[in-house]
Chain A
Amino acid sequence: MTSANKAESVLRFDTAIYPQEALMGAAYKFLDRVYTHFEYEGESKTISAKLRAKTQITQAHWENLLEAFSEEALSQALRLKILKATRKTRDQIMSIALYCIPSDESAMEQQTQQCAQSVSDEKMDSELEEILRKLKEEPDDDNHEEDPMDITVPWEEKYGGENL
């Protein structure tokens, strides 16, 4: 990251960490505050972002703005990563939802039942069994049966019915 005077700076981003789309998203969020121009540095995977303040601002404010821009880029990158990771699940939910849309009101009840069956039948059961099996296999780190501080012991038993 390098900087220059008069509220104009160049930030450099590695696209392996900050995808191009994430940088565009960050720039989009800052459209009202800075002028942004992106350029790949030669044949490298680094994008340089030239940022220029729209109005005159103090150096401290400018530095805060640059920091906020970088944070937003990171946030957008994370958002993209989550979107990609959950795409399959979202598609499945959508396809189930669309498959379940009844053609008319009279068919609604029948179709809803069919959908419920198709979703909850064997596949769902086997998935649930698999989850339960994994849960059982996992070591139980949170043993709530232990009570070293006698929290579960009633007040009367602990203090012999004394009132404070």
Chain B
Amino acid sequence: MEIKFDKKIYKKSAVLSAARECAGDAGFTVTTDSRHTIVKISGVPPQDRDAFIGEFGNFVIFKTRERR
């Protein structure tokens, strides 16, 4: 599964920090394109995927706010 974070809204450092902190729960690969920071997540059980994506997104919001 994949989440795309708009670079104009989410700081890349916040995405990386969140991925680093959640690395114990799942596998993370962070790449970028011209507009997004893309996070590929693996190793999450199918029944938990929606909640995991949501929680990860919220965690990035928290990290972005923390950096202001």
For B10, give the chain A residue with the smallest CB separation. Answer: A38
Number of interface residues of B (CB under 8 A): 18
Known contacts A35-B58, A36-B58, A54-B54; is-contact A24 B64 (Cβ 8 Å): yes
Q: CB within 8 A of A35: which of B10, B57, B64, B65?
A: B57
Q: CB within 8 A of B68: which of A21, A31, A47, A54?
A: A21
Interface residues of B in 1-52 (CB under 8 A from A): 3-4, 6, 8-10, 50-51
Q: Is A90 interfacial (CB-CB < 8 Å)?
A: no
Q: Are A31 and B9 in contact (CB under 8 A)?
A: no
Q: CB within 8 A of A47: which of B9, B57, B64?
A: B9
Number of interface residues of A (CB under 8 A): 16
Q: Are A28 and B6 in contact (CB under 8 A)?
A: no
CA gap between A95 and B49 in the complex, in Å: 51
**Within 8 Å CB of A36, what residues of B?**
57-58, 61
Q: Are A40 and B9 in contact (CB under 8 A)?
A: yes
Q: Are A27 and B68 in contact (CB under 8 A)?
A: no
Known contacts A39-B6, A39-B9; is-contact A28 B65 (Cβ 8 Å): yes
Q: CB within 8 A of A31: which of B3, B4, B61?
A: B61
**Within 8 Å CB of B68, what residues of A?**
21, 24
Known contacts A36-B58, A54-B54; is-contact A25 B65 (Cβ 8 Å): yes
**Within 8 Å CB of A25, what residues of B?**
65
CA gap between A39 and B65 in the complex, in Å: 16
Q: Are B58 and A40 in contact (CB under 8 A)?
A: no
CA gap between A31 and B64 in the complex, in Å: 13
A sample of 6 cross-chain residue pairs with beta-carbon separation below 8 angstroms, ordered by A number, consists of: A20-B9, A21-B68, A28-B62, A36-B57, A38-B9, A52-B50
Chain A residues in the interface with B (C-beta under 8 A): 20-21, 24-25, 27-28, 31, 35-40, 47, 52, 54
